[in-house]
Chains A and B, each alone.
Chain A
Amino acid sequence: MEHQRREFLKLMGVGGAFTLLPISIARAAAPASIEDRAHYISASAGDHDDFYVSAFNANGKILFEQALPGRGHDLGLRPNHVDVAAVERRPGLYGLILDRHTGEVRAKLHCPENRRFYGHAVYSDDGRFLYITENDFDHARGIVSVWDADDGYRRIAEFDSFGTGPHELHLMPDGQSLVIANGGLHTHPDFDGRTALNIDSMEPNLSIIDRHTGKLIHQAALKADWHQLSIRHLDVAPNGTIAAGFQYQGELTDQVPLVGLWQPGSEIRPIEAPDNVQLRMRQYCGSVRFDASGQVFGISCPRGGLITFWDVKTSGFLTHIAAPDGCGLAATDVAGQFVGTSGLGNGWRMDAIRRKRVELPDDSLKSLHWDNHLRRISV
């Protein structure tokens, strides 16, 4: 990988650790069709503890790399704007607002001393406010902080996440509420900030709060037997259906569901794949993404090297496609179609309906380890 990376940088005419490619070149390299003009953006890493936010086009050609001070995680896209929020993965201290077309740093967010960022951020639909999940580690309490993008990203409020260890959050289709996956894991910077300190007593949940007041609107948890299923990642369909992926903190051989569907106001409905796929999910789900139709969602399972696909209508398993170390997942604008990335440097276009996987043709993608989450930018 290092060799490929050096070669790629050489071809780009630079020898340094990161490259900013002018948008004009990026656009010139992009193919013509509407779908092919989409860009994809993700946190990434090199081979030497060097971390980036990187974008590539639909062929897998890298458009820019912006160096980060530490490992990133997910990205929040500001609607109708160039801003993209990159928040350090847990226990994170920095947040950067970047230009999605060039990677240029537009603003910096500093985490308060008694808080740590947890890697996920989302904007309000008018783009005014940015919401970030955080850990109030001294009180083992989850926080959603609120930042005013129109006021130089000033931190203006924080809400209770109504759980411990909040991770991914999304805006609900009403535009007025946020759904938060409270993973249930308590961590503390004194113990490296990542080691779970409460495996025996963890209580994960999904919570929906009013994004203006922080008031709890809905909350649901799995049954008590499954309290070690950390609910960490989720996506929301246009009709408000929430798909969630779990990470199990118990034994490897325990038979537990790893995926759930939630209609707020009801119970979380756990769903399982056939045994031979369920085992290969290795008790661990990464990204969750609905397709363009909102009828199919994909869940990546990097430990098992699989992307699993699920049907909302039947609340059932649809199919799976092998994707070694695959984790990043973004929906294209075609129903059932996704783009996925891997820590090994691969990028694929995948069709869940036809069970098909095609490698993105441009090898420059292989110069990086692609991190957990991938976002699509319509250009």
Chain B
Amino acid sequence: MPFLCRTRKVALLGATALLTVGLAPPGARADIPDENYRPVLEHLLGVVMPPKLDALHDATANLSDEIDDFCAEPDQDGLDEVREDFNAAMDIWQEVQPWRMGPLIANGRDQHIEYWPDKHGTATRQFRKLMFDKPAIYTDREKIAETSAALQGFPALEQVLFDDKLSPKLLDDDEDGVFLCGYGGAIGANLERMTGELVDEWPTFAQGMMEAGPDSMDYPDAKFAATDLYRALHEGLLIIASQKLGRPLGDGPKDAKASRAESPTSKRSLRNIAHNLTGLFAIYDGKWGDTGEEGKGLSALIDSSLLDRSFRLNWQTMTDGLDQLPASIVELLDQPDGYQKLADFAEQVSFVNTLVEGDVGGTTQLGGGFNALDGD
């Protein structure tokens, strides 16, 4: 879809908003039978997610192998290849990342895989110290898992591979170069291990959700289990708007700071978001790349084809807007109108999230209850 100019975009958003408001279901509607939620759970948790976790594990295993190959004979071409493998693994991680549930979050795993946001600059501080002391534990492929979360996952590897001052050292046969190679290899192996655990633990967790019922102390019915998927969609968009975009945007143009974005060193902050949106849309749609089937996600619970089309159109408008932006927020904010473009995109994401709250949450009846929505 061609890029829409701002005026047309706003008009389109406004029109579809009116359309969706007009189609909003009345307050007193029949409850969706609980058995209707079960196929959605089975599709998303049993069909769609497992191959993606396999892909993540394969990508990190490949990354780990490539680091080892590169370190055996370091040269610039090899470094470029490792960077490509890093990006490939990061792409699939960013698709999986918003599904914040079960083994993804158990034992702080998501933070060990990617420590972000790092509000207090912990990683930078610890990284400086690490390069000064070069402790052996950070090159130990087993023991690195016992170290700080900030120093054992993707952001730490990003520093090793992409930082302007550090990455050239990888090509040197000196103390720094040897340590950085050993450290990068240990991070790669650690990522491979953690994503392997995800693959192993997912089926049991998914089974628990798919078998929701009165005897389960975790998921008393299928609707409650499906609520976690709805929440992942809603919170995923919220995190993109308020943190992945909100943090670099700051309080205004003068307060903007690209370094507060995710993955600024590898210049892929917006590329991350594009992949987040792929993983999130799969929750709604049921299809994720070559996996799954359209219309078998949460959209299967929406009984209005107009509302479904409206939501898809708004989602498409949002992703089209992102397609027009560079992969890097650093690069975007260097443009004269970069701040405004980024702010506009953040607005689009927030708008789509209002549709998730109002239309998707309302129509699927997953959007929260009396106390959850308005407690005290």
Point out residues on A near B: beta carbons under 8 Å: 2, 45, 47, 73, 89-90, 119, 167, 232, 247, 251-255, 274-276, 279-280, 282, 284, 286, 302-303, 305, 319-327, 342-344, 355-357, 359, 369-372
Contacts and interface: CB of A to CB of B under 8 A. Distances in A.
Given A286-B375, A324-B369, A369-B371, 18 more contacts: A45-B370, A247-B375, A251-B243, A253-B117, A255-B111, A275-B107, A279-B100, A282-B231, A302-B371, A305-B372, A321-B217, A322-B219, A322-B224, A324-B220, A324-B221, A325-B370, A325-B372, A326-B371
Contacts of A251: 117, 242-243
A252 B241 CA distance: 12
Contacts of A342: 369-371
Contacts of B228: 280
Given A47-B27, A253-B243, A325 B217 contact: no
A274 B107 CA distance: 7
Contacts of B217: 319-322, 355-357
Given A284-B375, A303-B375, A327-B375, A2 B242 contact: no
Contact of A252 (B102, B235, B371): B235
B298 to A, nearest CB: 17
B376 A89 contact: yes
Interface of B: 27-28, 100-102, 105-109, 111, 117, 119, 214, 216-221, 223-224, 227-228, 231, 235, 238-239, 242-243, 368-372, 375-376
15 contacts: A47-B27, A47-B28, A73-B376, A251-B242, A252-B235, A255-B111, A274-B106, A274-B107, A279-B100, A303-B368, A319-B217, A324-B221, A325-B370, A327-B371, A342-B369
Contacts of B221: 324
A47 B369 CA distance: 12
A323 B224 CA distance: 9
Per CB-CB distance, the 7 closest pairs between chain A and chain B, nearest first, are A343-B370, A325-B369, A302-B371, A343-B371, A327-B371, A369-B370, A343-B369
Contact of A302 (B101, B102, B106, B375): B375
Contacts of B375: 247, 284, 286, 302-303, 327, 372
A137 to B, nearest CB: 16
Contacts of A321: 217
A252 B238 contact: yes
Q: Which of B106, B238, B370 has the most CB of A within 10 A?
A: B370
A298 to B, nearest CB: 14
A229 B369 CA distance: 23
Nearest to B110: A275
B67 to A, nearest CB: 28
Nearest to A233: B376
B242 A305 contact: no
A322 B216 contact: yes
Given A322-B216, A324-B220, A90 B27 contact: no
A253 B28 CA distance: 34
* Most chain A beta carbons < 10 A, residue from B28, B238, B376: B376
Given A322-B224, A359-B214, A275 B369 contact: no
Most A Cβ at <10 Å: residue of B105, B214, B238, B371: B371
Given A252-B239, A274-B106, A344 B376 contact: no
Nearest to B31: A1
Given A47-B28, A251-B243, A275-B105, A344 B370 contact: yes
A73 B108 CA distance: 35
A95 B213 CA distance: 41
A153 B199 CA distance: 64
Nearest to A343: B370
A47 B26 CA distance: 12
Contacts of B219: 322
Contacts of A322: 216-220, 224
Nearest to B228: A280
Nearest to B223: A324
Contacts of A359: 214
Nearest to B221: A324
A255 B375 CA distance: 21
Contacts of A305: 224, 227, 372
A343 to B, nearest CB: 3
Nearest to A373: B376
Contacts of B243: 251, 253
B217 to A, nearest CB: 5
Contacts of A274: 106-107
A372 B106 contact: no
Contacts of A343: 369-372
A28 B271 CA distance: 67
Given A302-B375, A305-B372, A276 B224 contact: no
A340 B100 CA distance: 27
Contacts of B108: 275
B372 A275 contact: no
Contacts of B223: 324
A356 B220 CA distance: 12
B269 to A, nearest CB: 16
Nearest to A45: B370
B369 A119 contact: no
Contacts of B100: 279
Of A47, A282, A319, A343, most buried by chain B (CB within 10 Å of CB) is: A343
A232 B223 CA distance: 30
Q: Which of A275, A276, A320, A327 has the most chain B CB atoms closer than 10 A to its own CB?
A: A276
A356 B27 CA distance: 33
Contacts of A89: 376
Nearest to B218: A322
A90 B374 CA distance: 12
B105 A276 contact: yes
B372 A276 contact: no
A251 B220 CA distance: 28
Given A303-B368, A324-B220, A372 B376 contact: yes
A30 B95 CA distance: 55
Contacts of A286: 371, 375
Most buried by A among B219, B220, B221, B372: B372
Contacts of B238: 252
Given A305-B227, A359-B214, A372-B376, A325 B371 contact: yes
Nearest to A303: B372
A255 B100 CA distance: 14
Nearest to B235: A252
Contacts of B214: 359
